Copies of this chain bind each other. A is one copy, B any other.
Amino acid sequence: MSQTVQRALSIVEFIAERPRSLGEVAGHLGVHRSTALRLLHTLREGGFARIVGGRYTVGLRLVALAHQALDQLDLHPVAHPHLVRLADRHGHTVHLAQLVGDEIVYVDKVDGRGALRLSSRVGRPVNPQTSGVGKAILAYLDEASRERFLARISYQAYTATSITSPEALRAELARTAARGWAEDDGEYEEVVACVAAPVRDARGRVVAAVSVTAPRVLAPLERLRGCLPDLTDTCAAISRDLGWTGGDQP
Protein backbone atom coordinates (compact mmCIF):
# COMPACT_ATOMS: atom_id res chain seq x y z
CA MET A 1 0.00 0.00 0.00
CA SER A 2 1.40 3.36 -0.97
CA GLN A 3 1.39 5.95 1.75
CA THR A 4 2.12 8.77 -0.64
CA VAL A 5 -0.79 7.91 -2.91
CA GLN A 6 -3.06 7.45 0.09
CA ARG A 7 -2.15 10.95 1.19
CA ALA A 8 -2.87 12.37 -2.23
CA LEU A 9 -6.29 10.70 -2.41
CA SER A 10 -7.03 11.85 1.11
CA ILE A 11 -6.27 15.41 0.01
CA VAL A 12 -8.74 15.10 -2.86
CA GLU A 13 -11.44 13.90 -0.46
CA PHE A 14 -10.66 16.74 1.93
CA ILE A 15 -10.76 19.54 -0.63
CA ALA A 16 -13.94 18.16 -2.18
CA GLU A 17 -15.79 19.03 1.02
CA ARG A 18 -14.98 22.72 0.57
CA PRO A 19 -11.98 24.77 -0.57
CA ARG A 20 -9.05 24.44 1.84
CA SER A 21 -5.84 26.31 2.56
CA LEU A 22 -2.39 24.72 2.47
CA GLY A 23 -2.21 24.77 6.23
CA GLU A 24 -5.56 23.03 6.60
CA VAL A 25 -4.44 20.28 4.22
CA ALA A 26 -1.13 19.82 6.07
CA GLY A 27 -2.99 19.68 9.38
CA HIS A 28 -5.53 17.22 8.07
CA LEU A 29 -2.80 14.87 6.85
CA GLY A 30 -0.51 15.44 9.80
CA VAL A 31 2.46 16.33 7.59
CA HIS A 32 4.75 19.30 7.12
CA ARG A 33 3.47 22.19 5.00
CA SER A 34 6.20 21.56 2.43
CA THR A 35 5.05 17.96 2.04
CA ALA A 36 1.45 19.01 1.58
CA LEU A 37 2.55 21.63 -0.93
CA ARG A 38 4.38 19.11 -3.09
CA LEU A 39 1.46 16.73 -3.06
CA LEU A 40 -0.91 19.54 -4.01
CA HIS A 41 1.40 20.64 -6.82
CA THR A 42 1.31 17.17 -8.24
CA LEU A 43 -2.47 16.98 -7.94
CA ARG A 44 -2.76 20.35 -9.69
CA GLU A 45 -0.47 19.26 -12.48
CA GLY A 46 -2.69 16.20 -13.01
CA GLY A 47 -5.86 18.30 -12.96
CA PHE A 48 -7.21 16.78 -9.75
CA ALA A 49 -6.82 20.03 -7.78
CA ARG A 50 -6.80 23.72 -8.55
CA ILE A 51 -6.36 26.97 -6.66
CA VAL A 52 -9.14 29.51 -6.31
CA GLY A 53 -8.55 32.55 -4.13
CA GLY A 54 -5.56 31.02 -2.38
CA ARG A 55 -7.47 27.84 -1.48
CA TYR A 56 -7.33 24.39 -2.98
CA THR A 57 -10.38 22.77 -4.52
CA VAL A 58 -11.08 19.85 -6.82
CA GLY A 59 -9.83 20.10 -10.39
CA LEU A 60 -12.00 19.77 -13.47
CA ARG A 61 -9.97 16.91 -14.93
CA LEU A 62 -11.36 14.74 -12.16
CA VAL A 63 -14.86 15.75 -13.21
CA ALA A 64 -14.15 14.82 -16.82
CA LEU A 65 -12.78 11.43 -15.82
CA ALA A 66 -15.83 10.76 -13.69
CA HIS A 67 -18.17 11.43 -16.60
CA GLN A 68 -16.02 9.22 -18.79
CA ALA A 69 -16.30 6.49 -16.17
CA LEU A 70 -20.09 6.81 -16.03
CA ASP A 71 -20.29 6.47 -19.79
CA GLN A 72 -18.31 3.26 -19.47
CA LEU A 73 -20.92 1.68 -17.23
CA ASP A 74 -22.99 0.86 -20.32
CA LEU A 75 -26.19 1.32 -18.36
CA HIS A 76 -26.08 5.06 -17.72
CA PRO A 77 -26.17 6.31 -21.33
CA VAL A 78 -28.80 3.72 -22.26
CA ALA A 79 -31.05 4.51 -19.31
CA HIS A 80 -30.67 8.27 -19.09
CA PRO A 81 -33.17 9.26 -21.81
CA HIS A 82 -35.78 7.00 -20.22
CA LEU A 83 -35.19 8.58 -16.82
CA VAL A 84 -35.54 12.09 -18.17
CA ARG A 85 -38.90 11.26 -19.75
CA LEU A 86 -40.11 9.48 -16.61
CA ALA A 87 -39.17 12.47 -14.42
CA ASP A 88 -40.85 14.78 -16.87
CA ARG A 89 -44.14 12.85 -16.89
CA HIS A 90 -44.40 12.69 -13.11
CA GLY A 91 -42.53 15.79 -11.98
CA HIS A 92 -40.66 13.81 -9.31
CA THR A 93 -37.01 12.93 -8.84
CA VAL A 94 -35.95 9.74 -10.56
CA HIS A 95 -32.94 7.67 -9.49
CA LEU A 96 -31.02 4.90 -11.19
CA ALA A 97 -28.99 2.62 -8.96
CA GLN A 98 -26.76 -0.13 -10.24
CA LEU A 99 -25.23 -3.24 -8.76
CA VAL A 100 -21.53 -2.57 -9.20
CA GLY A 101 -19.30 -5.32 -7.89
CA ASP A 102 -20.65 -6.07 -4.45
CA GLU A 103 -22.34 -2.77 -3.73
CA ILE A 104 -25.27 -0.82 -5.03
CA VAL A 105 -24.61 2.79 -6.04
CA TYR A 106 -26.58 5.67 -7.48
CA VAL A 107 -25.42 6.14 -11.06
CA ASP A 108 -27.95 8.68 -12.26
CA LYS A 109 -30.41 11.14 -10.82
CA VAL A 110 -32.87 13.36 -12.64
CA ASP A 111 -34.38 16.07 -10.48
CA GLY A 112 -38.11 16.63 -10.26
CA ARG A 113 -39.78 19.98 -10.87
CA GLY A 114 -40.26 21.09 -7.27
CA ALA A 115 -37.91 23.32 -5.32
CA LEU A 116 -37.12 20.63 -2.76
CA ARG A 117 -33.90 18.75 -3.41
CA LEU A 118 -33.19 15.24 -2.24
CA SER A 119 -29.85 14.46 -0.63
CA SER A 120 -28.99 11.42 -2.72
CA ARG A 121 -25.89 11.84 -4.84
CA VAL A 122 -24.54 10.08 -7.90
CA GLY A 123 -21.54 7.90 -7.15
CA ARG A 124 -22.53 7.26 -3.55
CA PRO A 125 -23.66 3.93 -2.17
CA VAL A 126 -27.29 3.15 -1.58
CA ASN A 127 -28.62 1.94 1.79
CA PRO A 128 -29.82 -1.40 0.50
CA GLN A 129 -32.34 -2.02 3.27
CA THR A 130 -34.01 1.39 3.38
CA SER A 131 -34.07 2.48 -0.23
CA GLY A 132 -36.53 1.35 -2.86
CA VAL A 133 -33.80 0.76 -5.43
CA GLY A 134 -31.77 -1.24 -2.92
CA LYS A 135 -34.67 -3.51 -2.13
CA ALA A 136 -35.65 -3.81 -5.80
CA ILE A 137 -32.18 -5.19 -6.54
CA LEU A 138 -31.73 -7.32 -3.42
CA ALA A 139 -35.07 -9.04 -3.97
CA TYR A 140 -33.77 -10.65 -7.16
CA LEU A 141 -30.23 -11.53 -6.20
CA ASP A 142 -29.29 -15.19 -5.93
CA GLU A 143 -29.57 -16.30 -2.32
CA ALA A 144 -25.83 -16.45 -1.61
CA SER A 145 -25.25 -12.89 -2.85
CA ARG A 146 -28.31 -11.58 -1.05
CA GLU A 147 -27.27 -13.17 2.25
CA ARG A 148 -23.83 -11.59 1.90
CA PHE A 149 -25.50 -8.19 1.56
CA LEU A 150 -27.79 -8.88 4.52
CA ALA A 151 -24.79 -9.89 6.62
CA ARG A 152 -23.08 -6.55 5.99
CA ILE A 153 -26.06 -4.34 6.78
CA SER A 154 -26.01 -2.52 10.11
CA TYR A 155 -29.83 -2.38 10.48
CA GLN A 156 -29.70 1.06 12.02
CA ALA A 157 -33.07 2.58 12.91
CA TYR A 158 -32.89 5.82 10.91
CA THR A 159 -36.62 6.46 11.35
CA ALA A 160 -39.60 4.78 13.00
CA THR A 161 -40.30 2.84 9.79
CA SER A 162 -36.73 1.54 9.25
CA ILE A 163 -36.22 -2.18 8.87
CA THR A 164 -34.12 -3.26 11.83
CA SER A 165 -33.51 -6.99 11.47
CA PRO A 166 -32.50 -9.46 8.78
CA GLU A 167 -35.78 -11.36 9.24
CA ALA A 168 -37.87 -8.25 8.62
CA LEU A 169 -35.78 -7.43 5.57
CA ARG A 170 -36.16 -10.96 4.15
CA ALA A 171 -39.92 -10.66 4.55
CA GLU A 172 -39.92 -7.29 2.82
CA LEU A 173 -37.78 -8.65 -0.02
CA ALA A 174 -40.17 -11.57 -0.43
CA ARG A 175 -43.04 -9.08 -0.76
CA THR A 176 -41.01 -7.09 -3.26
CA ALA A 177 -40.30 -10.14 -5.42
CA ALA A 178 -43.94 -11.22 -5.27
CA ARG A 179 -45.31 -7.91 -6.53
CA GLY A 180 -42.41 -6.88 -8.74
CA TRP A 181 -41.69 -3.52 -7.12
CA ALA A 182 -40.29 -2.00 -3.95
CA GLU A 183 -41.07 0.99 -1.84
CA ASP A 184 -39.46 3.23 0.77
CA ASP A 185 -41.94 4.71 3.18
CA GLY A 186 -39.73 7.24 4.96
CA GLU A 187 -37.36 4.50 6.10
CA TYR A 188 -34.16 6.53 5.75
CA GLU A 189 -35.47 10.08 5.77
CA GLU A 190 -38.87 10.39 7.30
CA VAL A 191 -39.96 13.06 4.84
CA VAL A 192 -39.12 11.09 1.69
CA ALA A 193 -41.02 8.26 -0.02
CA CYS A 194 -40.42 6.33 -3.20
CA VAL A 195 -41.39 3.40 -5.37
CA ALA A 196 -38.83 1.40 -7.33
CA ALA A 197 -38.66 -1.37 -9.91
CA PRO A 198 -35.86 -3.61 -11.19
CA VAL A 199 -33.94 -3.41 -14.46
CA ARG A 200 -32.66 -6.58 -16.14
CA ASP A 201 -29.69 -7.17 -18.39
CA ALA A 202 -29.56 -9.22 -21.60
CA ARG A 203 -29.43 -12.44 -19.60
CA GLY A 204 -32.42 -11.53 -17.48
CA ARG A 205 -30.47 -10.78 -14.33
CA VAL A 206 -31.43 -7.79 -12.23
CA VAL A 207 -28.50 -5.38 -12.40
CA ALA A 208 -30.12 -2.06 -11.54
CA ALA A 209 -33.29 -0.38 -10.40
CA VAL A 210 -35.13 2.85 -11.00
CA SER A 211 -37.13 4.79 -8.44
CA VAL A 212 -39.56 7.66 -8.43
CA THR A 213 -38.96 9.65 -5.28
CA ALA A 214 -40.59 12.65 -3.69
CA PRO A 215 -40.99 14.47 -0.41
CA ARG A 216 -44.06 13.02 1.30
CA VAL A 217 -45.66 16.43 1.67
CA LEU A 218 -45.86 16.60 -2.11
CA ALA A 219 -46.51 12.97 -2.90
CA PRO A 220 -47.34 10.45 -0.17
CA LEU A 221 -46.65 6.80 -0.93
CA GLU A 222 -50.20 6.14 -2.17
CA ARG A 223 -49.75 8.81 -4.80
CA LEU A 224 -46.37 7.48 -5.86
CA ARG A 225 -47.89 3.99 -6.26
CA GLY A 226 -49.95 5.54 -9.04
CA CYS A 227 -46.68 5.89 -10.99
CA LEU A 228 -46.01 2.17 -10.85
CA PRO A 229 -47.43 1.14 -14.24
CA ASP A 230 -45.36 3.84 -15.95
CA LEU A 231 -42.30 3.03 -13.82
CA THR A 232 -42.40 -0.70 -14.55
CA ASP A 233 -42.97 0.01 -18.26
CA THR A 234 -39.91 2.27 -18.19
CA CYS A 235 -37.82 -0.42 -16.50
CA ALA A 236 -38.99 -2.93 -19.10
CA ALA A 237 -38.00 -0.52 -21.88
CA ILE A 238 -34.54 0.01 -20.37
CA SER A 239 -34.19 -3.75 -19.92
CA ARG A 240 -35.09 -4.32 -23.57
CA ASP A 241 -32.55 -1.67 -24.60
CA LEU A 242 -30.00 -3.73 -22.66
CA GLY A 243 -30.97 -6.81 -24.65
CA TRP A 244 -33.49 -8.43 -22.31
CA THR A 245 -36.15 -10.34 -24.21
CA GLY A 246 -38.38 -11.65 -21.44
CA GLY A 247 -42.04 -11.05 -22.21
CA ASP A 248 -43.33 -10.33 -18.73
CA GLN A 249 -42.44 -7.47 -16.44
CA PRO A 250 -38.82 -7.39 -15.22
Contact residues in B for A26 (Cβ distance below 8 Å): none
> Could you say which residues of chain B place their CB within 8 Å of the CB of A47?
9
B60 near A84 (CB under 8 angstroms)? no
Residues of B contacting A107 in the complex (Cβ-Cβ under 8 angstroms): 60, 63
Chain B contacts of A38 at CB under 8 A? 1-2
8 Å CB contacts to B: which residues of A1-55? 1-2, 4-6, 8-10, 12-13, 16-19, 38-39, 41-43, 45-48, 50-52
Question: For A6, what are the chain B residues with a Cβ–Cβ distance below 8 Å?
Answer: 42, 45-46
> Does A141 reach chain B (CB closer than 8 Å)?
no
- Nearest CB in chain B to that of A67: its residue: B122
Given contacts A4-B2, A8-B5, A42-B2, contact A123 B67 (CB under 8 A): yes
CB distance from A83 to the nearest CB of B (A): 11
A88 at the interface (CB under 8 A from B): yes
- Do B9 and A42 touch (CB < 8 A)? yes
B13 pairs with A65, CB closer than 8 A: yes
Cα distance, A67 to B107, chains bound together (Å):
11
Contact of B58 with A123 in the complex, beta carbons under 8 Å: no
**Interface residue A81 (Cβ < 8 Å from any Cβ of B):** yes
Residue pair B105, A60 in contact (C-beta under 8 Å) = yes
Q: Is the CB of A66 within 8 A of B67?
A: yes
- Give residues of chain A (77-136) contacting chain B, Cβ–Cβ below 8 Å: 77, 80-81, 84, 88, 100-101, 103, 105, 107, 111, 117, 121-125
Q: State whether the Cβ of A62 lies closer than 8 Å to any Cβ in chain B.
A: yes
- With the chains together, A62 CA to B80 CA distance in Å? 20
Contact B9 A122 (CB under 8 A): no
Q: How far is the CB of A197 from chain B (nearest CB, A)?
A: 22
- Report the minimum CB–CB distance from A162 to chain B (whole Å): 23
- Supposing A63-B123, A64-B122, A68-B58 touch, asked if A4 and B4 sit within 8 A by C-beta, the answer is yes
Q: Which residues on B sit within 8 Å (CB–CB) of A18?
A: 72
26 contacts between A and B (CB under 8 A): A1-B45, A2-B4, A4-B4, A5-B42, A8-B9, A9-B46, A10-B46, A12-B65, A13-B46, A16-B68, A16-B69, A16-B72, A18-B72, A50-B101, A58-B72, A60-B100, A60-B105, A60-B107, A63-B66, A63-B69, A63-B107, A66-B67, A67-B122, A68-B121, A81-B111, A84-B111
